[in-house]
Structure 1
Amino acid sequence: MSKRTSDSKVKAPLSALAARRLRQQQLAAQAEPSNPTPNGDSPSITPGAEAAPVLHSKDISGPSTPLKSRSPSAIPPKETIDSAGDTDIDIPRQVSNFVQTEENHGYDTQTLETTVKLRRGETFVIQGEYRVSVISGNISIYGAILETSASIDVIAPSTQALPVIECAPKSKKRKVEKPARKDGEYDAIFSLHSTQSGLNDVGRICPRFDRIWKPPLTSTVVKSKAADSFTPILTAIQPTPVLTIPPSWQPTITTLSSTKQSPKSIFIIGGKSVGKSTFGRYLLNTLLTNSQQSAVAYLDLDPGQPSFTPPCILSLHKITSPVVAPSFATFGSTEVVRQHHVGYISPREDPKYYLRCAADLVREYRRLVEQGEKLTLIVNTCGWIKGMGRELLQELIAVCEPTDVVGLGEVDGVFAEILPEGKGVKRHLLEAAGTGNAVGNIPGSQQFTPADLRILQTIAYFHQRSKVSGDSNGSSSPSFDFEKHLTAIPPLIAVYKGAAKVIHGITILDTGIAPDLIFTGLNATIVSVKMVKKDDREHPAIRYLEDVYGENNDVTPPYIPANQFDGTSGLLPAEGTVTAGLAIVRGVDEGNGELQLLTPMHEDEINGYLEDGYRILLCRGRDEMPVYLMWDWRDGRAGQKGRRGTGSGGGVDKMPYLDFVDGGEVTGKGAKEWKVRRNIMRRGQQRR
């Protein structure tokens, strides 16, 4: 019998789950570490204009953190288990079938461009940000067909399925002679160039999204320079969703993108997570690159997961270039013709206002058509197709009068109920995405919920770089700045009392609170910036202000109780109200009668409205305020450590609404002041 020596150790047997976690830790240790909080001073704040505009920037000392949250923690990647329950983390999955050689892949040290040569049938998947330019042949990506000399900017993080680059037939949009192929054995040659929108730094603001630009734990990648903003992926150990569409989609997309019966009005319906936005984006890109249309109108009626705006907004866009980017990365890439802030992520809260806003946007589209613009209209709807949602769809069909209706998933019954008979509407029933591997829906690969993506979309909106009104540099590429936290950026100052006031009304949807509590309900919330013509005496909000306050410019505040109107449509009718954008009420200076606003809108843009005779009304709905917009988590974490170690408190004691979980103990000012009342109970539990 052997004897155990003093330095020997007995290892306990590992379960399959423990072994898998150990393997993940080993793989993660080999990956590049991530640090969402780089050291070093931030760049200086760009000063505002020296002249005193109606709205101006102002430095405010000290961060404002009026929200309740918990300390952020690193979120480990989800483990992958197959349907039988066995671990398959060590099995590489094929992402691209491209095989790199010295002949089909090269890098130019002078132009800093990567050149790739593809044969028909080969696929090339890239994660990151890049510009792809076609040198010869044709390629397709996310429905867009690019010919020789064409280029497109791509933004492809891991939040969505990664687009695939592959050879494509010649498009029908431009009739050009087929050039003689220089490389006879390759069907397409294209170059890749790094681009920077600023989104790669989003983890500095919200650590939840720090790793969306990091490639998965891979076994093989295409070799590229370390400075590149993208990574071509061949095989991956972690699940890596790749964008492929169901077979039934392509014939329908080809039919809808034909020039016959143009312009069309295409209405897309389906339940949740069936691929409505994916189908709409794929169709949009096909129309712009494989037909005779130079522009497409896109009507987004999904306030919960909009494609080109922050949540809670319905919008009409005129789009002239293909869009290959997730929703949070599209700001600035389209022309916003008109938009309405409905204040909720679902139409169920105020269906009448939702329908009136949709009808107003359709009228705006028809005005464009009457002016001679041949614009195919794509209408994207929300995933509410039962009960009242079905009734809303029927109303929207009557308003939009589509030529084609596309149904994704099990919508046979919906079609039978909402589509009018004898109107000549063409019906297209297609399978839903997500069945099998339709849009890269690999089990265990999706880390983010729709709520997560709404937070990301809101964060990106408020960190987009402002564009000066009238700037016509022709650039439609999105641009973002995450170098500074919002609390370190000078806010716009808007006066709400006195002769110089620019804020003429403040309201909170679906409620009526006492006027002296209005700023309690408004501070540290997201509001829409509504514009109303000052001479529009029939506008309900203007009429109310004049009836109640008259010419009294010293009113503090100019409050409009929403509960005195017949819903939002009675307070802010869609026909006479313009939604300029969103803002955050950073703080209130009641002594000077000023509101401090954080908004991506440039002050010149807002002042332009004022010069055109508009008045500003601020309207708060139920837009979700991400805690990271009002709290610099890096300072908060540093303060937390100081409290435990030195008792200095740091940033924690300066945060009136926040509490923190610190070693099992809830700390922070929010923890001390937060009280819970348990006097809400069911009717049957109440004593009579």
Structure 2
Amino acid sequence: MKRTSDSQAKAPLSALAARRLRQQRDASEPTSNGSSPALTPVAETISAPAGQIPNGGQVDHGQRSPSTAPAAKEPETAAALADESSRQVSNFTQTEDNYVYNPQTEETTVKLRRGESLVIQGEYRVSVKSGAITIYSAILDSSSGPLDVIAPSSLALPIVECAPKSKKRKVDSRDGDYDAVFNLENIRTGLGEVGRICPRFDKIWKPPLTTTTITGGSNDSFTCLLTSPQPPVTLTISPSWQSTITSLGSSKNSPKSIFITGAKSAGKSTFARCLTNAITSQSPRRAVVYLDLDPGQPSFTPPCMVSLHRITSPIVAPSFAGPRSAELLRQHHIGYASPREDPKYYLRCAANLFREFRAQSEREGEQPTLIVNTCGWIKGMGRELLHELVQLCGPTDVVGLGDVDGVFAEILPSESTARRHLPEAAGTGATAGNASSSSGSQPFTPAELRMLQTIAYFHSLPGIGSGSSSGPAAGFDFSRHLTAVPPLLAGYTGPGRVIHGMTVLDTHVPRDLLFAATTATIVAVNLVKADDADHPVNRYLADAYDADHRAGNEREYENGKDGAAPYICSSEFDGTSSLVPAEKTMTIGLAILRGVDETNGQVQLLMPVGEDALNAWLEKGYRVVLCRGRDEIPVWLMWDWRSEQQQRKRTGADGKRVPYLDFVVGGEVTGKGAKEWKVRRNIMRRGQQRR
């Protein structure tokens, strides 16, 4: 079976379907003369090298000019040309009245009747003009304001439907017998160009092969999907989910503290997002504080982080799109994609985030709904961690996705009065969470989604996630590779140094190998208050100062030739909690340590946190400590596969300039460290062994 460039299998086509596709390419396709576009089945495009235009230099913008080729004997519509095996994606029939594109404003007006649904892939801004719609469990009406939707096929696509009937949601009489009218507007966050950096994600914004779509303007940032032989994964809320969300989203028995647990791939993050949208879209609006304790697949931060966010409006975007409408309250870098590596520090960070939630609520004088999302580790030590987290949060409601009755019995205290909810896990039954589609499960693995999240994070522009969905849409820049981005230069020696310490978590590294162990890795940018004499880092540095003073090496220490700076030996501390305690340490983001200039005593950092923002923290009296954990850095962040220079390196002409990558030259792997280590073990027969 052949596979596409993104490793997804193509559905086989019958001979009749192939003939009809050839007729479609050769025959003329009439375009609509009105303001409504025509239905168009998407054909496979031929990829061309960067800078070249396929199809003989002609650009296809989705509206083809009539051809002079003879028409078929029996005229067929574009929708009828689709394969007989095509399955319905949207329960929507386009007419000249219910789907109108305005070329002047570049907006599209859509009108829905009750029972109709529309699946839209891409990036768009939706504004309800009359009636009400539901999308990703959020209910929007004319008073809700615009909402930005980012819907790639890397995860389940949301479905737009009419909201349930309500006396408050009246439809304008001018709209006839339609139940909801809304506008779609183009937005561009920059995420559509992620394929320039990593080709694995090049097609997440494109419909599947031979999908029947509705096209509007030639530069639309979204596509409405109707039918496809390979339907994408769509988000269908199961009845058990809907009833649980309705119960938890009610304003009765508020405020609530909702604890969500379940096994891996059970749909915890999707359920938490749906519940958040259902609460924040209510009128009057209610705020949600989201405590994310899943470092492997976080909802708003890069991997290996736990965080606390305040959310005041629905979020219809994947995790790698950044928290555009979520306010970051606090975050911690635990250094691993799972709490199993350092459970003590994981619990300390979770406790600090929960205390921050309490303090924030007291300062504002209100108690918003708290949603706690946990990781999928529910066996062994993972169950013990859940028990500790339940005692910490004291939830009013506990949600268990899937078969977790046994888990509840062990993690809930006997005196607990928390209400228990047991909706089905995603992927079970006819409809369920984020894997509910007849086409199968998610097209990407959790490891690939972490890679996408990391790539998007380091290409995000400063200021993303300021908290407003109606602000500028652009938030990512994939126009140039990170290797072409000028790094921030931060000194680690002398009186004006910025970096006061560097460490590798839970690993003893000789002082002279510090830079070798941290170069070309992801490090956390932690802030420590300089006047906090009780902080372990400050005590460590103070002891180093005293030692140098006693040895008469003050000048050498300031020049960076000796002393503790910038190295902090983590093996001298009792775990990460003793080195960078969550209570006294602030994590502002991640950075890639691109290189070190030992002559001038500077490190080169690539990070989405701007220079002005970092300097503002320094002016407040904070010191920067870089901590390397086990964050995985995608090879695409280090290798510009498009550039001609990298093509020469692949042939071995300049391979010495990329010591951290391996290349295949003439069938042999080259590069520093490319050879396989062969360990010889003298295994002897029993007769050869000494007696």
Is TM more than 0.5 here? yes
Tell me if the contact between 2:156 and 2:442 (Cα under 8 Å) persists in the aligned partners: no
Distance in 1 separating the partners of 2:465 and 2:227: 46
Choose which of 482, 488, 507 in structure 2 pairs with 1:492. Answer: 488
Partner residue, 1:458 = 454
Tell me if the contact between 2:158 and 2:234 (Cα under 8 Å) persists in the aligned partners: yes
Q: Is 2:520 aligned against 1:524?
A: yes
| Partner SS, residue 430 of structure 1 | coil
Compute the displacement of 1:320 (Å): 1.4
Structure 1 residues 383 and 480: alpha-carbon distance in aligned structure 2, compared to 1, 3 A threshold: same
Tell me if the contact between 2:42 and 2:207 (Cα under 8 Å) persists in the aligned partners: no
| Partner SS, residue 634 of structure 1 | coil
| Partner SS, residue 261 of structure 2 | strand
Compute the displacement of 1:422 (Å): 2.9
Choose which of 111, 114, 120 in structure 1 pairs with 2:105. Answer: 111
Partner residue, 1:676 = 677
Q: Which has the higher contact order (CA 8 A, sep 6+)?
A: 1
Choose which of 426, 432, 439 in structure 2 pairs with 1:433. Answer: 426
Structure 1 residues 130 and 659: alpha-carbon distance in aligned structure 2, compared to 1, 3 A threshold: same
Partner residue, 1:163 = 158
Distance in 2 separating the partners of 1:591 and 1:570: 32
Unaligned runs of 5+ in 1: 1-16, 41-87, 644-648
Partner residue, 1:534 = 530
Structure 1 residues 517 and 594: alpha-carbon distance in aligned structure 2, compared to 1, 3 A threshold: same
Tell me if the contact between 1:147 and 1:170 (Cα under 8 Å) persists in the aligned partners: no
Distance in 2 separating the partners of 1:185 and 1:681: 84
Distance in 1 separating the partners of 2:419 and 2:10: 55
Compute the displacement of 1:611 (Å): 0.6
Compute the displacement of 1:128 (Å): 0.5
Tell me if the contact between 2:121 and 2:205 (Cα under 8 Å) persists in the aligned partners: yes
Compute the displacement of 1:373 (Å): 2.8
Give per-residue Cα distances to partners, 1:42-97, cap 9 Å, x unaligned. Answer: xxxxxxxxxxxxxxxxxxxxxxxxxxxxxxxxxxxxxxxxxxxxxx9961111001
Distance in 2 separating the partners of 1:468 and 1:290: 25
User: 5 Å matches for 1:182-581?
Assistant: 182-290=174-282, 292-371=284-363, 372-436=365-429, 437-438=431-432, 439=434, 440-444=436-440, 446-467=442-463, 475=471, 477=473, 479-550=475-546, 552-556=557-561, 557-581=565-589
Paired letter, 1:92: S
TM-score normalised to the size of structure 1? 0.84
Paired letter, 2:417: G
Distance in 2 separating the partners of 1:444 and 1:470: 36
Structure 1 residues 303 and 422: alpha-carbon distance in aligned structure 2, compared to 1, 3 A threshold: same
Compute the displacement of 1:435 (Å): 1.1
Tell me if the contact between 1:104 and 1:118 (Cα under 8 Å) persists in the aligned partners: yes
Distance in 2 separating the partners of 1:192 and 1:258: 30
Tell me if the contact between 2:325 and 2:465 (Cα under 8 Å) persists in the aligned partners: no
Deviates more, 1:424-433 or 1:351-360: 424-433
Structure 1 residues 680 and 288: alpha-carbon distance in aligned structure 2, compared to 1, 3 A threshold: farther
Choose which of 33, 41, 44 in structure 2 pairs with 1:31. Answer: 44
Partner residue, 1:49 = none
Distance in 2 separating the partners of 1:133 and 1:238: 30
Number of residue equivalences: 613
Distance in 1 separating the partners of 2:490 and 2:303: 24
Compute the displacement of 1:290 (Å): 2.1
Structure 1 residues 680 and 268: alpha-carbon distance in aligned structure 2, compared to 1, 3 A threshold: farther
Partner residue, 2:70 = none
Tell me if the contact between 1:300 and 1:316 (Cα under 8 Å) persists in the aligned partners: yes
Distance in 2 separating the partners of 1:627 and 1:342: 22
Distance in 1 separating the partners of 2:439 and 2:112: 30
Distance in 2 separating the partners of 1:94 and 1:477: 31
Aligned residues: CA RMSD: 3.0
Distance in 2 separating the partners of 1:335 and 1:33: 42
Choose which of 122, 130, 154 in structure 2 pairs with 1:128. Answer: 122
Q: Is 2:600 aligned against 1:592?
A: yes
Partner residue, 1:72 = none
Distance in 1 separating the partners of 2:595 and 2:150: 35
Compute the displacement of 1:330 (Å): 2.3
Paired letter, 2:422: L
Paired letter, 1:340: H
Deviates more, 1:540-549 or 1:28-37: 28-37
Paired letter, 1:590: E
Structure 1 residues 215 and 681: alpha-carbon distance in aligned structure 2, compared to 1, 3 A threshold: farther
Structure 1 residues 519 and 39: alpha-carbon distance in aligned structure 2, compared to 1, 3 A threshold: farther
Q: Is 2:92 aligned against 1:98?
A: yes
Structure 1 residues 290 and 332: alpha-carbon distance in aligned structure 2, compared to 1, 3 A threshold: closer
Distance in 2 separating the partners of 1:180 and 1:675: 71
Paired letter, 2:409: A
Paired letter, 1:140: T
Distance in 2 separating the partners of 1:36 and 1:262: 57
Give per-residue Cα distances to partners, 1:137-181, cap 9 Å, x unaligned. Answer: 00000011001253211000010111000000367xxx9684643
Partner residue, 1:610 = 618
Tell me if the contact between 2:146 and 2:470 (Cα under 8 Å) persists in the aligned partners: no
Unaligned runs of 5+ in 2: 1-8, 22-40, 54-81, 547-553
Compute the displacement of 1:615 (Å): 0.4
* Percent identity over paired residues: 58
| Partner SS, residue 96 of structure 1 | coil
Partner residue, 1:76 = none
Paired letter, 1:129: E
Distance in 1 separating the partners of 2:619 and 2:48: 46
Distance in 2 separating the partners of 1:131 and 1:516: 53
Partner residue, 2:633 = 625
| Partner SS, residue 574 of structure 1 | coil
Compute the displacement of 1:668 (Å): 3.9
Distance in 1 separating the partners of 2:615 and 2:464: 11
Structure 1 residues 214 and 411: alpha-carbon distance in aligned structure 2, compared to 1, 3 A threshold: same
Compute the displacement of 1:618 (Å): 0.2
Give per-residue Cα distances to partners, 1:394-439, cap 9 Å, x unaligned. Answer: 0000111111000000100000111122332111111101114423
Distance in 2 separating the partners of 1:265 and 1:36: 53
Paired letter, 2:44: A
Give per-residue Cα distances to partners, 1:300-339, cap 9 Å, x unaligned. Answer: 0000000000000000001112100111012443211000
Compute the displacement of 1:476 (Å): 7.6
Paired letter, 1:577: T
Distance in 1 separating the partners of 2:681 and 2:534: 42
TM-score normalised to the size of structure 2? 0.83
Distance in 2 separating the partners of 1:224 and 1:604: 41
